[in-house]
Structure 1
């Protein structure tokens, strides 16, 4: 089946998932908060959304396999990678900044990226070779060329620890002059790079379901992304740097992630 059909289907499924997420978010009594680990939030809504997305896509594309944050871990040459709620901490705490993230890979190449923010009704999507859009309008990275005027998001997780995070923050802000935000959704951070809202997203370690849809978006919006899928990136995660291309060398030098343009 064609990538075009998968692309339109992923958008429809993301929108349906977003409706479920928003309905549950607006009724706090409808779910309970738990933890997978320190600062690693989980709600039953995560599992519900993943089951919805997988069931819809599996019905349409039974030959495909799935990798999901909350259960499915079956890689193949034709695989969907899903984060049902990226920004679960925000969702659980009543902060309206979260999304569903859906990526599709064929033979190891990311071809489709769909990120839907149901609270703002913003659909970020990209198909390899066809550009990136938000709600049907083309998007591009910022084009900024001076790191001292840039704004980046630096993602944090408990896999690499606070010391490594603080060192990265120091190198990118104090060391280079960039301004920093942290919104607790790596997928939306990547989407915002693609849309030119921020200039870079950097994280010492990120999982595939958090970042692959954003990688397609940033590349199709004209940005640079480090080689996230190197080694065991698909199954074990990797560092990531995504940025507007004129700041590639500056961010690579400051973060130690990625390769400079020769």
Structure 2
């Protein structure tokens, strides 16, 4: 085992433990969601003490074990490191669902190695299901290997389309119209990371949403890729500091779905 492989394996193991502990904290907040004070960073961008507390826990736990690594999270920004590793954290993806008592939220951690996503962790605390992947090693739900759906077509399969920004209302509306015209079924659960995990597990045949951040999608994109799916390269197209499109699909529908969402060059 090379040094990089050993270092990555150590971080994967630590990340699994940390995300499960963070999920337990988040779940405790969720059980009393009606009592949480809700704040806003902008229209439709809600957060509470649950988000900030869970991210603080994750960042502290990572720093204790890997103090040389960089970190970037939705709530507390970026902290520089001096190793090749950077952790990308979304303490609660699907915050609006969380704050209204819906169980479609998750805790998300991705790991970059020299700027390349190599580990993705998504914990559905309400279902006690940990989705995880490491580059070249496949994708898993808890300890069972998962793969994307390999037989369903657009017509007859479930396709998730996200969109929560008014800037993209016309674009997203047209996408849904084209999907329905192709006899597809439109789904949305409110959490990008959990949706991508469900694509990786074969529940949805594809997913598209514009205007997303790196912490929303990097873990989920590596899950889908390692499960045999087709994804866009968010780091090449958008990078860590901007918002961009997220595309993921089962291979047999990737070309058709790309046309529906307008990603065919």
C-alpha RMSD over aligned residues: 1.6
2:218 is matched with 212
Q: Which runs of 5+ in 2 are unaligned?
A: 1-5
Runs (4+) of structure 1 exceeding 6 A deviation are: none
* Match of residue 204, structure 2, among 198, 209, 212: 198
What's 1:118 paired with?
A: 125
Q: Which secondary structure state, in structure 1, belongs to the residue aligned with residue 199 of structure 2?
A: helix
CA distance in 2 between counterparts of 1:21 and 1:92 reads 11
Between 1:21-30 and 1:187-196, the stretch displaced more is: 21-30
What is the count of residue pairs matched by the alignment?
A: 258
Classify the secondary structure of the residue corresponding to 2:235: coil
User: How far apart in 2 are the matches of 1:159 and 1:100?
Assistant: 26
Moved more, 80-89 or 221-230: 221-230
CA offsets 1:81-140 (integer angstroms, 9 cap, x no match): 110000100110111111001000111211000000111001000010111100100000
Which runs of no fewer than 5 residues in structure 1 stay unpaired?
Answer: none
Q: Which residue of 2 aligns with 1:99?
A: 106
How many Å apart are 1:168 and its aligned residue?
Answer: 2.1
Of 32, 43, 66 in structure 2, the residue corresponding to residue 61 of structure 1 is 66
TM-score w.r.t. length of structure 1 = 0.93
Q: Which residue is equivalent to 2:36?
A: 31
- How many Å separate the matches in 1 of 2:57 and 2:161? 30
Q: Is the 8 A contact 2:33 2:98 kept in 1?
A: no
Q: For residue 193 of structure 1, report the CA deviation from its aligned partner.
A: 0.3
Rate the CA distance shift 1:16–1:37 in 2: closer, same or farther, 3 A: same
For 2:264 and 2:146, how far apart are their aligned partners in 1?
23
